């Protein structure tokens, strides 16, 4: 019998090779950030800095340490414990989760910042309890993430979604693997001084398994390990950015938070239909970006090897979604007919999209001895 979970894990691994754009100074970094934003990252961008190039980037600590498997209600238990110990008195579970996450508690939230220099600081400096030079023998990483829409974490709708769906181990959003591809970007303004100083927002990941952010939303910069110490000094002497700045609770440093953004998604109801619609929109955007890349390769590449590699990646991307669909159907009996009908319509919509794009790809490859897989092959039916 085929082990679907092992296949799924390999298909969803964060195997994207990070483009070797090396940064050697603050000036060099800012220039490269501007260049990347000019290459299709226009609009609102957030940043994520990591002190080393981890095997899986942008990974919330809940998934990093697989805490979600220790107990079905692990996340809710953590928040209840935080409250019972008097560490937070907010009535909203999501707001407590945000405060707790910044205190080091496990969470499905991922910290990001609106300030590219703050992200650079995190790429060259470890957590403040560790020596500044702990990872100076390894390259750092800054990921630029394009913001398509934004949610207020204090909204009743999002709180309801977080509490009733994401904290509920029996919900569709936790049991259908397709929803592990889903996430929401959260803006935040808080009395928490650390969040203000870091000019931070969050990405809220759904599902039980981590899925990497879509490639079309991200660009990456490698921070040269040999220049980390120099960059730390430049950040401090030119911009007064150091651990004392980004962790202000020990230093009483308060900075105003970012201006409000105009790309909020609060008007849209959070339900199965709309959430599957968001997932489908991201599938289209990612696959359309693949097609544009394919057109460029066909025009400039004489060797078919690169084209074959891209076709393989494109087919693998679609197969991963159909595998999630197949695994999600195992849970149909646990949910309502209306919920399952919405899921079936999503599958039909994806089928139609793949058929349409397959004909376009075949046309692009008409002069090549390369074929794109049929819908039946992509669905795993052949």
Output DSSP code: residue 151: B
pLDDT, tens only, 163-175: 999 999 889 998 8
- Could you please report the per-residue DSSP string of 57-118? SS--HHHHTTGGGT-TTHHHHHHHHHHHTTS---S-HHHHHHHHHHTT---SEEEEES-HHH
Burial track 179-202 (b if 16+ CB lie within 10 A, e otherwise): bbbbbbbbbbebebbbbbbbbbbb
pLDDT value of residue 89: 67
pLDDT value of residue 225: 95
- Could you please report the per-residue DSSP string of 259-276? PPPS-B-TTS--SHHHHH
pLDDT value of residue 319: 95
Average pLDDT value for residue range 282-297:
94
365 by DSSP, 3-state: which? coil
- Could you please report the per-residue DSSP string of 288-328? HHHHHHHHHHHHH--SHHHHHHHHHHHHHHHHHHHHHHHHH
User: Taking the domains of the chain in order of start, what are their residue ranges?
Assistant: 4-250, 272-378
Q: How far is CA 81 from CA 97, 106, 352, in A?
A: 11, 12, 47
Say how far apart CA 213 and CA 206 lie, in whole Å: 12
The residue among 189 and 102 whose pLDDT is bigger is 102
Residue 321 has pLDDT above 80, yes or no: yes
pLDDT value of residue 267: 52
- For residue 21, the tally of other CB atoms under 10 A from its CB is 14
| Best CA proximity match to 322, nearest among 292, 293, 287 | 287
pTM over 0.85: no
pLDDT value of residue 205: 95
Residue with tokens 């809220």: 204
Say how far apart CA 219 and CA 37 lie, in whole Å: 9
The pLDDT-based confidence of 220 (bands split at 50, 70, 90) is very high
Output DSSP code: residue 185: E
CB 191 within 8 A of CB 102: no
Residue with tokens 């999002």: 158
pLDDT, tens only, 29-47: 999 999 998 887 767 899 9
How many residues are there in the chain? 382
- Extract long-range pairs of 289-295: CB within 8 Å, 24+ residues apart: 289/215, 289/216, 290/314, 290/317, 291/357, 291/360, 291/361, 291/364, 294/361, 294/364, 295/364
Residue 254 has pLDDT above 80, yes or no: no
């Amino acid at each position: 019998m085929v082990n679907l979970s092992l296949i799924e894990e390999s298909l969803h691994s964060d195997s994207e090779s990070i483009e070797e754009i090396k940064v050697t100074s603050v000036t060099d970094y800012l220039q490269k950030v501007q260049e990347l934003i000019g290459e299709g990252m226009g609009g609102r961008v957030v940043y994520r800095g990591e002190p080393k190039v981890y095997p899986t980037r942008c990974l919330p600590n809940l998934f990093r340490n697989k805490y979600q498997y220790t107990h079905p209600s692990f996340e809710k238990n953590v928040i209840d414990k935080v409250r019972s110990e008097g560490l937070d008195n907010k009535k909203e579970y999501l707001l407590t989760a945000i405060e707790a996450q910044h205190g080091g508690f496990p969470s499905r939230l991922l910290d990001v910042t609106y300030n590219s220099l703050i992200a650079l600081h995190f790429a060259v400096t470890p957590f403040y309890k560790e020596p500044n030079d702990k990872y100076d023998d390894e390259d750092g990483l800054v990921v630029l993430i394009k913001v398509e829409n934004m949610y207020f974490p204090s909204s009743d709708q999002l709180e309801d979604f977080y509490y009733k769906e994401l904290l509920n181990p029996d919900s569709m959003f936790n049991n259908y693997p397709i929803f592990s591809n889903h996430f929401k970007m959260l803006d935040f303004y808080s009395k928490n001084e650390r969040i203000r100083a870091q000019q931070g927002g969050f990405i809220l990941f759904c599902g039980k398994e981590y899925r990497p952010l879509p490639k079309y939303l991200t660009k990456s910069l490698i921070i040269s390990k040999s220049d980390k110490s120099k960059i730390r000094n430049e950040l401090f002497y030119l911009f007064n950015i150091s651990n004392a700045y980004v962790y202000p609770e020990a230093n009483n440093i308060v900075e105003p938070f970012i201006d409000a953004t105009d790309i909020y998604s609060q008007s849209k109801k959070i339900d199965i239909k709309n959430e599957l619609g968001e997932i489908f929109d991201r599938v289209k955007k990612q696959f359309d970006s693949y097609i544009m890349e394919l057109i460029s390769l066909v025009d400039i590449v004489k060797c078919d090897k690169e084209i074959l590699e891209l076709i393989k990646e494109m087919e693998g991307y679609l197969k991963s979604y159909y595998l999630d669909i197949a695994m999600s159907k195992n849970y149909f009996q646990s949910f309502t007919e209306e919920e399952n009908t919405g899921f079936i319509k999503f599958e039909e919509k994806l089928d139609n999209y793949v058929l349409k794009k397959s004909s376009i790809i075949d046309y692009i490859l008409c002069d090549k001895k390369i074929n794109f897989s049929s819908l039946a092959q992509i669905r795993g039916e052949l």
